[in-house]
Amino acid sequence: MNHFKTLALLSILSAVLISIGYMIGGNTGIFFGVVIAAVTNLGSWFYSDKIALAAHKAQPVSKEEAPELYAMVEKLAEKADMPVPGVYILPTQSANAFATGRDPEHAAVAVTQGIMKMLPADELEGVIAHELSHIMNRDTLTQAVAATIAGAIGFLAQMLQYSMWFGGMGGSRDDNNGPNPIALMATLFLAPMAATVIQLGISRTREFAADAGAAKLTGNPRALANALKRLDASARQMPMAGNPAYEPLMIMHAVPKQMFSGLFSTHPATDKRVERLLELEKEVATA
């Protein structure tokens, strides 16, 4: 179901992109916007691991430097039948973790000093399993595709704005009457917002999928549920500083956004995630 939702949201993003591109310049407008956005976003995706790790000043650690953490990552990676990712520690007392990399062969798992101190071993194992699930599901690729399409929508909306300012829209289409001004204004303001909402919806869907993957990998859904509750409480007391652009990577909001609608949230509500994990626990017990 989560994969179906992701595909549906990506399809809607694509439809919005096609519509705004056609308004601007027919097939040429669509192609031009996609090419520009794809070059930028796919370049970022290719170097996503290096960029994200550098942004958080993550330090690589060896088996000798962090034996317990490294052993935990190795055990879970072996159980998941995937290459052992690079292991990094972020020098902050805020409790969080993330995975990055374009595929399982070029991946990394990073945890903060704070999360290692705060969580007991079984809960930390659940967090790491969640991040490995992101890698196995290639969620970094999914997010890169979503970012590419959303970026193209934003770029084409900007082109539309410039065209309206300079009065160039009248001849951009084969239609002698030109585009509908009301449709143009609606596209200008609503399309980028819709793209953002859909992109964040994809992020939330992938979090549910990674939670389920972690529960399956460890066989202990309650441990991850308990970890999420601790992390949510910790984020309210000690928010994690950093570029908000990387917040979708984190297992938990860097800063809880209580004043904003769930539509603009990068993560599902913690209580909903916990509820689903406890339902999985019942299913495991029944099986």
d(CA 37, CA 43): 10
β-bridge mates for residue 101, sequence order:
107
**In this predicted structure, what is the pLDDT of residue 241?**
73
The residue ranges of every structural domain in the chain are 2-286
d(CA 195, CA 197): 6
Confidence class for position 172, pLDDT limits 50, 70, 90: very low
Confidence class for position 169, pLDDT limits 50, 70, 90: very low
**In this predicted structure, what is the pLDDT of residue 47?**
75
Report how far apart, in Å, the C-alpha atoms of 143 and of each of 53, 55, 79, 193, 285 are: 17, 18, 25, 17, 33
pLDDT digits (tens, 9 = 90+) for 77-93: 999 999 999 999 999 99
pLDDT above 70 covers a percentage of the chain that reads 60
Q: Which residue has the higher pLDDT, 46 or 281?
A: 281
Confidence class for position 46, pLDDT limits 50, 70, 90: confident
Q: Which of 123, 125, 131, 247 is catalytic?
A: 131
Burial class (CB in 10 A: 0-12, 13-18, 19+), 238: middle
pLDDT digits (tens, 9 = 90+) for 218-234: 999 999 999 999 999 99
**Range 148-175 average pLDDT:** 60
**In this predicted structure, what is the pLDDT of residue 145?**
66
Q: Which residue has the higher pLDDT, 74 or 178?
A: 74
- Does position 20 have pLDDT exceeding 80, yes or no? no
Q: Which residue has the higher pLDDT, 120 or 242?
A: 120
Confidence class for position 216, pLDDT limits 50, 70, 90: very high
Nearest to 256 by CA among 226, 273, 234, 272: 234
The backbone torsions φ and ψ at residue 173, rounded to the nearest 5 degrees and listed phi first, read -130, 160
Supply the mean pLDDT for the chain: 79
CB 193 within 8 A of CB 15: no
- Does position 3 have pLDDT exceeding 60, yes or no? no
β-strands 86-90, 107-112 pairing: parallel
Active site residue 78: no
Report how far apart, in Å, the C-alpha atoms of 183 and of each of 11, 17, 20, 236, 277 are: 21, 14, 10, 42, 44
